[in-house]
Amino acid sequence: MSAPSLAGKVYAITGGASGMGLATVKRLVQAQARAVCIGDFNDSNFPQVKEALEALNKEGSTTIVFTKLDVSKSASVNAWIDGIISQFNALDGCLNAAGIPQMVGARGEPAILEETDEAWDTVMGVNLHGVFYCMRAEIAAMVKLEKKPRSIVNIASMAALRYSTDIFAYSVSKWGAAVLSTAVAKDVESAGTDIRVNAVSPGGTKTPMLMKFVGPKALEAAKKSGVERRSSLIEPDDVAAVVVWLLSEDSSQVYGVNIPVGESAP
């Protein structure tokens, strides 16, 4: 893989131990980034991920750091970013991919009556508040460093672009993350920071989270309509390819956008 604008740089990736986050980490390692710092709440698979990444990092050109991270806690996010700056005195790009799903087709109708305060707050805490906490900490660190082009990418969702009937918290949180990305992009541009912010909205993607997201009702409906087919799903690396492009200088004139991947916008 040839991605010269990524080599020798330092990246922070939330949700980097699985799915789209891990696919992005792999591409950055292959591009010989100086360091990739993975923050993920699920640390049980860190040893397995470390082994897989070491196989890609045969020349040892990339330092890979693992941290258990709860993005819904601003203090934890701040400490994580502060640690990256302390260790590398650099932060060139970030992917905020940490997220949690809601089950599609698992509730009765009207589904809003089964949307509990706890479920709503939990999803918002990770998918929306987490993106806000991460961007705030990342930008705070970046503006203190030598001014140069930097990039932040947030994972939204195709659910942010559609009216979903029973995953209210997930859809609203992802819509909020997309809108927040554009708003912050304009904010940092006005401030003259040379930091770009963009979002990516994947469609159905073959990640460990997928089966937690698709409930029995949704699967049955898909079977009846003939929509259920593996070809309709995309791979995490399909999303990572777009993310890495946005992190690179090849996309230097792209900022404040939300790019659909895998499905066209409705």
Catalytic residue annotation: 170, 174
Distance, CA of 8 to CA of 6 (rounded, Å): 6
With beta carbons less than 8 A apart as the criterion, state whether 36 and 26 touch. no
Which structure tokens are listed for 231? 């070809």
- Residue 155 forms beta bridges with which residues? 200
Q: Which long-range contacts (CB under 8 A, 24 or more apart) does 159-164 make?
A: 160/201, 160/258, 161/201, 161/258, 161/260, 161/265, 161/266, 162/266, 164/104
User: Before 260, cis peptide (omega within 30)?
Assistant: no
Give residue for tokens 């195709």: 158
Other Cβ atoms within 10 Å of 88 Cβ, number: 17
